[in-house]
Structure 1
Amino acid sequence: MANLPETAGPLYEKVKEYILDHIISGAWGKDQRVPSEHELVSMLGVSRMTVHRALRELTSDGHLVRIQGVGTFVAPPKPYSTLIEIVDIASEIRTRGARYRADILLLESLQPSQELLAAFDFATRKAVGHSMILHHENDMPVMIEERFVNSDLAPDYDKQDFSAITTYDFLQKSTPLTEVEQVIAAITADEETARMLALEAGAPCLLLHRRTWTGSTVATVNRFTYSSRYTLGSRYAPGSFR
């Protein structure tokens, strides 16, 4: 039976420390499957509830990745995505030397809701392009991209092959952005989001709302939902963005 750290505090904190020690030492490398709850209970001589809480908190903190029906794995270092600068996630991932893959979940033309009409500043109802794409890094889902696109500016959006060209590249050529509005919020994953991002329901995520303009016309209204495996940030000179 393995020995838990001889530190003060509740048992689940000692279990967390035991697991973190193995990760930090390299005994359990990134993407390696860690022992199951049952195995840890047997190894450490603690209750299943104690182990479950330790694994849940380590997952929430980004140290572990739990995939329903598969197991728990050591999380890789968090990829870093720029927040202010508008860049292509496919290029970001490949620049890090990682494998990129996209699943096209939806590509259609639809009549917008009243909320979307307001977001586009449309005076009359008109169809917009709509896509939903699931982005993967090293075969792990990291971001759900949902876009609504002004069909006056990009009329063939819903007819593109986004397995051959990214939405970013197509829109840059079709309707170059001149202004951007971004709002980011912390959310918890609902069941569908959790399923798509291979998370547990209720896991923390980041939701980035973005609108872009070409001239004075709203070009796109977007929602990007990032797994907690991903980090957003930026570096820029003061005065560069106003």
Structure 2
Amino acid sequence: MLESPFRRATPESSLEHTIAQDSLPIFQRIKDYLVGEIAAGRWKEGEVVPSEQALVRQFGVSRMTVNRAVRELTAEHVLTRRQGSGTFVAPKKYQATLVEIKSIADEVRARGHAHRSALHLLEQAPASEPLARQFDLAAQAMLFHSVIVHFENEVPIQVEDRWVNPQCAPDYLLQDFASITPNEHLMAAAPLQGATYSIEALPAPRDIAEMLAVDARTCCLVLKRVTSSLERVASVVTMWHPGQLYQYTGSVG
């Protein structure tokens, strides 16, 4: 008779498992329980998890012990806490590539999610001295300026603060940026010739924090990009992303 590959747990193996479990700190057992339930699909991304009071009753432990477990899972970006609303399963980190300039709308849709944008500012304004130097224009030269918030499944994931050279995209102010992204318009109006990047972690100023629906001074991933077209600098853009939701990826070769 062939021996089954599945072995019934013996009293000895069950005892070993129980001892191993008992050796774990209680807060770690609570963390493992929450992570296991999320992995099993009981609570999905964005769904609320049991309150600390419910976990206190379930495990028969102190509020301090439960709070430590929840606090550590929040720091590890497994959970996210909203003041006055509860604790939720944190969204997965959204990814963007640094290798290829793509529309954020295309990236969101490629993940099977819904994209929308909210226009906060669209104007013609004089260039500051630093901006004028970046565009190689005279100080106070007129530029186009837009500030747009991009959403993924109604979660704000990017504030796009963009300055545009009117010589490269004269119709920029006429665009409906609810139906087309600035990147999509510029790629058509001013074919890309080159780009330079920098990326850093910065605390969110109050206005950026409000648009991203995060606390002021929350750490953000900030991508600054300068693109050129037709032998001119076409666009200077700063893109703010909530650090706990976003990561940049890329490969060469």
TM over 0.5: yes
User: Residue in 1 aligned with 2:103?
Assistant: 88
Task: Choose which of 245, 248, 252 in structure 2 pairs with 1:229.
Answer: 245
Question: 1:187 and 1:58, CA in 2 relative to 1: closer, same or farther beyond 3 A?
Answer: farther
Deviation at 1:16, TM superposition (A): 3.8
Q: Distance in 2 between matches of 1:35 and 1:198?
A: 23
Task: Choose which of 169, 174, 184 in structure 2 pairs with 1:169.
Answer: 184
Aligned ranges 1:22-171 → 2 under 5 Å:
22-41=37-56, 43-44=58-59, 45-47=61-63, 51=66, 54-171=69-186
TM-align CA RMSD: 2.5
TM-score by length of 1: 0.83
Larger Rg: 2
Question: 1:188 and 1:18, CA in 2 relative to 1: closer, same or farther beyond 3 A?
Answer: farther
Q: Which amino acid aligns with 2:38?
A: I
Give 3-state SS (helix, strand or coil) of 2:127's partner.
coil
Deviation at 1:38, TM superposition (A): 4.6
CA contact (8 A) 1:68 1:200 kept: no
CA contact (8 A) 1:31 1:76 kept: yes
Question: 1:190 and 1:53, CA in 2 relative to 1: closer, same or farther beyond 3 A?
Answer: farther
User: Residue in 1 aligned with 2:15?
Assistant: none
Q: Which amino acid aligns with 2:248?
A: L
Deviation at 1:188, TM superposition (A): 3.1
Q: Distance in 2 between matches of 1:121 and 1:7?
A: 66
Deviations 1:86-114 (A, max 9, x none): 00110111122111111111111111222
CA contact (8 A) 2:128 2:139 kept: no
User: Residue in 2 aligned with 1:199?
Assistant: 214
Q: Which amino acid aligns with 1:114?
A: E
Q: Distance in 2 between matches of 1:211 and 1:33?
A: 41
CA contact (8 A) 2:108 2:114 kept: yes
Q: Distance in 2 between matches of 1:85 and 1:96?
A: 16
Q: Which amino acid aligns with 1:193?
A: I
Q: Which amino acid aligns with 2:81?
A: R
Deviations 1:181-212 (A, max 9, x none): 11111223344333322333443321101011
Deviations 1:100-132 (A, max 9, x none): 111111111111222212222223421111111
Deviation at 1:173, TM superposition (A): 1.3
TM-score by length of 2: 0.79
CA contact (8 A) 1:28 1:74 kept: yes
Give 3-state SS (helix, strand or coil) of 1:35's partner.
coil
| Residue ranges of structure 1 left out of the alignment (5+ in a row) | 238-242
Q: Distance in 1 between matches of 2:206 and 2:41?
A: 33
Give 3-state SS (helix, strand or coil) of 2:150's partner.
strand
